[in-house]
Amino acid sequence: MELYAIKDVSGIYVDAAVGNECDELRFLSVWGLDTAIQELLGRFSLPWREGGLIELKLKPLDSLHAIEKWYGVGNAALLQKHSGRVNSKESLFQGLVHLWLYHPSVSKIDVANRRCVLLKQQTEDAENFSHRLWEAVKTVCPVPLLDAWKTIQEDFQDKEWIMHHEGIQVDAYTLDFSSEEVESCISAWIKEGRYKLPKAYQKNSCLTLVKS
Protein backbone atom coordinates (compact mmCIF):
# COMPACT_ATOMS: atom_id res chain seq x y z
CA MET A 1 0.00 0.00 0.00
CA GLU A 2 1.43 3.36 -1.05
CA LEU A 3 1.57 6.09 1.59
CA TYR A 4 1.61 9.80 0.82
CA ALA A 5 2.81 12.79 2.80
CA ILE A 6 1.02 16.14 2.71
CA LYS A 7 3.26 18.99 1.63
CA ASP A 8 3.80 21.56 4.41
CA VAL A 9 2.09 19.28 6.95
CA SER A 10 4.30 17.15 9.19
CA GLY A 11 3.46 13.88 10.91
CA ILE A 12 0.47 13.00 8.70
CA TYR A 13 0.37 10.07 6.28
CA VAL A 14 -2.33 9.52 3.68
CA ASP A 15 -3.35 6.01 2.63
CA ALA A 16 -6.47 6.88 0.61
CA ALA A 17 -7.94 9.96 -1.07
CA VAL A 18 -10.21 10.89 -3.95
CA GLY A 19 -11.83 14.00 -5.36
CA ASN A 20 -14.59 14.95 -7.80
CA GLU A 21 -14.42 16.17 -11.40
CA CYS A 22 -12.86 19.44 -10.16
CA ASP A 23 -10.39 17.61 -7.89
CA GLU A 24 -12.22 18.89 -4.84
CA LEU A 25 -11.73 16.51 -1.92
CA ARG A 26 -14.49 13.96 -1.38
CA PHE A 27 -12.70 11.42 0.83
CA LEU A 28 -9.44 11.44 2.77
CA SER A 29 -7.93 8.77 5.04
CA VAL A 30 -4.93 9.79 7.15
CA TRP A 31 -2.80 8.43 10.00
CA GLY A 32 -0.88 10.36 12.61
CA LEU A 33 -0.35 10.98 16.31
CA ASP A 34 -3.17 12.79 18.08
CA THR A 35 -1.28 16.09 18.17
CA ALA A 36 -0.63 15.98 14.42
CA ILE A 37 -4.26 15.09 13.69
CA GLN A 38 -5.54 17.95 15.84
CA GLU A 39 -3.15 20.35 14.10
CA LEU A 40 -4.42 19.18 10.72
CA LEU A 41 -8.06 19.72 11.72
CA GLY A 42 -7.19 23.12 13.14
CA ARG A 43 -5.56 24.24 9.91
CA PHE A 44 -8.67 23.27 7.96
CA SER A 45 -10.60 25.88 9.96
CA LEU A 46 -8.06 28.72 9.52
CA PRO A 47 -7.91 31.29 6.71
CA TRP A 48 -5.16 30.75 4.16
CA ARG A 49 -3.19 33.82 5.34
CA GLU A 50 -3.06 32.35 8.84
CA GLY A 51 -1.69 29.00 7.72
CA GLY A 52 -4.99 27.42 6.79
CA LEU A 53 -5.21 24.61 4.24
CA ILE A 54 -7.11 25.33 1.04
CA GLU A 55 -5.43 22.57 -0.93
CA LEU A 56 -3.62 19.30 -0.32
CA LYS A 57 -0.50 18.39 -2.27
CA LEU A 58 0.22 14.70 -1.72
CA LYS A 59 3.66 13.28 -2.39
CA PRO A 60 4.39 9.51 -2.41
CA LEU A 61 6.85 8.47 0.28
CA ASP A 62 8.74 5.68 -1.46
CA SER A 63 7.55 4.60 -4.86
CA LEU A 64 9.29 5.92 -7.95
CA HIS A 65 6.22 5.08 -10.04
CA ALA A 66 3.48 6.84 -8.07
CA ILE A 67 2.80 10.45 -8.99
CA GLU A 68 1.95 13.42 -6.84
CA LYS A 69 -1.72 14.21 -6.28
CA TRP A 70 -3.51 17.51 -5.72
CA TYR A 71 -6.92 18.11 -4.15
CA GLY A 72 -8.73 21.32 -3.30
CA VAL A 73 -10.26 21.38 0.17
CA GLY A 74 -13.29 23.49 -0.79
CA ASN A 75 -15.60 24.32 2.10
CA ALA A 76 -13.85 22.46 4.93
CA ALA A 77 -16.79 23.15 7.26
CA LEU A 78 -18.86 20.71 5.20
CA LEU A 79 -16.44 17.82 5.66
CA GLN A 80 -17.57 15.19 8.12
CA LYS A 81 -15.07 13.26 10.20
CA HIS A 82 -14.71 9.91 11.88
CA SER A 83 -11.67 8.70 13.79
CA GLY A 84 -10.30 5.71 15.67
CA ARG A 85 -7.29 5.18 17.90
CA VAL A 86 -4.81 2.31 18.27
CA ASN A 87 -5.02 1.53 22.00
CA SER A 88 -3.25 -1.80 22.27
CA LYS A 89 -0.34 -1.54 24.74
CA GLU A 90 1.51 -4.22 22.76
CA SER A 91 1.27 -2.31 19.48
CA LEU A 92 4.24 -0.39 18.11
CA PHE A 93 1.70 2.17 16.94
CA GLN A 94 0.15 2.95 20.31
CA GLY A 95 -1.44 6.41 20.27
CA LEU A 96 -1.75 6.46 16.48
CA VAL A 97 -5.01 7.95 15.22
CA HIS A 98 -6.81 7.04 12.00
CA LEU A 99 -8.96 9.89 10.65
CA TRP A 100 -11.47 9.83 7.81
CA LEU A 101 -12.74 13.08 6.30
CA TYR A 102 -15.53 12.92 3.75
CA HIS A 103 -18.06 15.09 1.96
CA PRO A 104 -21.74 14.61 2.97
CA SER A 105 -22.58 13.42 -0.56
CA VAL A 106 -20.54 10.27 0.16
CA SER A 107 -22.69 9.21 3.10
CA LYS A 108 -26.14 10.37 2.02
CA ILE A 109 -28.04 10.60 -1.27
CA ASP A 110 -29.26 14.10 -2.10
CA VAL A 111 -32.71 12.97 -3.21
CA ALA A 112 -34.02 16.48 -3.86
CA ASN A 113 -31.19 17.32 -6.27
CA ARG A 114 -30.72 13.77 -7.57
CA ARG A 115 -27.03 13.53 -6.68
CA CYS A 116 -24.68 11.28 -4.73
CA VAL A 117 -21.09 10.05 -4.65
CA LEU A 118 -20.34 6.34 -4.52
CA LEU A 119 -16.94 5.22 -3.26
CA LYS A 120 -15.18 2.09 -4.51
CA GLN A 121 -12.09 0.50 -3.04
CA GLN A 122 -9.81 -0.26 -5.96
CA THR A 123 -9.54 -3.85 -4.73
CA GLU A 124 -13.32 -4.35 -4.59
CA ASP A 125 -14.76 -7.18 -6.67
CA ALA A 126 -15.96 -5.75 -9.99
CA GLU A 127 -19.24 -7.67 -9.98
CA ASN A 128 -20.06 -6.55 -6.46
CA PHE A 129 -19.42 -2.91 -7.29
CA SER A 130 -21.38 -3.17 -10.53
CA HIS A 131 -24.40 -4.23 -8.47
CA ARG A 132 -23.91 -1.37 -5.97
CA LEU A 133 -23.53 1.18 -8.74
CA TRP A 134 -26.67 0.02 -10.54
CA GLU A 135 -28.72 0.14 -7.34
CA ALA A 136 -27.51 3.69 -6.69
CA VAL A 137 -28.31 4.74 -10.26
CA LYS A 138 -31.86 3.40 -9.93
CA THR A 139 -32.27 5.30 -6.66
CA VAL A 140 -30.98 8.63 -7.95
CA CYS A 141 -32.44 8.63 -11.45
CA PRO A 142 -35.86 10.36 -11.57
CA VAL A 143 -37.12 7.88 -14.19
CA PRO A 144 -37.88 4.29 -13.08
CA LEU A 145 -35.35 1.94 -14.66
CA LEU A 146 -35.75 -1.74 -15.49
CA ASP A 147 -32.95 -4.15 -14.62
CA ALA A 148 -32.93 -5.23 -18.26
CA TRP A 149 -31.69 -1.72 -19.09
CA LYS A 150 -28.47 -1.96 -17.08
CA THR A 151 -26.37 -1.06 -20.14
CA ILE A 152 -28.06 2.36 -20.11
CA GLN A 153 -25.27 3.35 -17.72
CA GLU A 154 -22.99 3.68 -20.75
CA ASP A 155 -25.28 6.39 -22.12
CA PHE A 156 -25.37 8.04 -18.70
CA GLN A 157 -21.55 8.12 -18.70
CA ASP A 158 -21.55 9.72 -22.17
CA LYS A 159 -23.87 12.40 -20.79
CA GLU A 160 -21.61 12.74 -17.72
CA TRP A 161 -24.49 11.90 -15.40
CA ILE A 162 -22.14 9.20 -14.12
CA MET A 163 -18.50 10.26 -13.76
CA HIS A 164 -15.57 8.15 -12.61
CA HIS A 165 -12.75 9.75 -10.62
CA GLU A 166 -9.61 7.74 -9.87
CA GLY A 167 -7.94 8.35 -6.53
CA ILE A 168 -5.44 6.80 -4.12
CA GLN A 169 -6.60 3.31 -3.10
CA VAL A 170 -10.20 4.42 -3.67
CA ASP A 171 -12.21 5.70 -6.63
CA ALA A 172 -15.34 7.85 -6.66
CA TYR A 173 -18.35 7.75 -8.94
CA THR A 174 -20.37 10.97 -9.07
CA LEU A 175 -24.02 10.43 -9.95
CA ASP A 176 -25.79 13.63 -11.00
CA PHE A 177 -29.24 13.32 -12.54
CA SER A 178 -30.28 16.92 -11.94
CA SER A 179 -30.26 17.77 -15.65
CA GLU A 180 -33.63 18.66 -17.19
CA GLU A 181 -32.68 16.44 -20.13
CA VAL A 182 -32.77 13.16 -18.19
CA GLU A 183 -36.43 12.29 -18.77
CA SER A 184 -36.51 13.44 -22.40
CA CYS A 185 -33.30 11.56 -23.26
CA ILE A 186 -34.46 8.30 -21.70
CA SER A 187 -37.83 8.66 -23.45
CA ALA A 188 -36.07 9.24 -26.79
CA TRP A 189 -33.86 6.18 -26.30
CA ILE A 190 -36.93 4.06 -25.61
CA LYS A 191 -38.70 5.38 -28.72
CA GLU A 192 -35.59 4.57 -30.75
CA GLY A 193 -35.85 0.98 -29.52
CA ARG A 194 -32.55 1.00 -27.67
CA TYR A 195 -34.33 0.07 -24.45
CA LYS A 196 -37.56 -1.87 -24.69
CA LEU A 197 -40.51 -1.78 -22.34
CA PRO A 198 -42.32 -5.02 -21.40
CA LYS A 199 -45.45 -5.37 -23.50
CA ALA A 200 -47.66 -4.97 -20.43
CA TYR A 201 -46.31 -1.43 -19.94
CA GLN A 202 -45.91 -0.23 -23.50
CA LYS A 203 -49.41 1.22 -23.81
CA ASN A 204 -49.77 2.80 -20.39
CA SER A 205 -46.23 3.77 -19.35
CA CYS A 206 -45.75 7.45 -18.67
CA LEU A 207 -42.32 7.11 -20.27
CA THR A 208 -43.92 7.02 -23.70
CA LEU A 209 -45.63 10.35 -22.99
CA VAL A 210 -42.53 12.34 -22.18
CA LYS A 211 -41.86 14.80 -24.99
CA SER A 212 -38.43 14.78 -26.56
Is residue 130's pLDDT more than 90? yes
- Dist CA 17 CA 174 (whole Å): 15
Q: What confidence score (pLDDT) does residue 88 get?
A: 53
Is residue 64's pLDDT more than 90? no
- Dist CA 4 CA 12 (whole Å): 9
Burial of residue 32 (CB within 10 Å: 0-12, 13-18, 19+) is buried
pTM score of the predicted model = 0.84
- Same domain, yes or no: 83 and 129: no
- Same domain, yes or no: 186 and 99: no
Q: Which of 20-29, 60-69, 201-210 is modeled with the greatest confidence? A: 20-29
Structural domain span for residue 148: 108-209
- Same domain, yes or no: 122 and 88: no
- Same domain, yes or no: 83 and 136: no
- Same domain, yes or no: 113 and 189: yes
Binned at pLDDT 50, 70 and 90, residue 209 comes out as very low
Is residue 72's pLDDT more than 50? yes
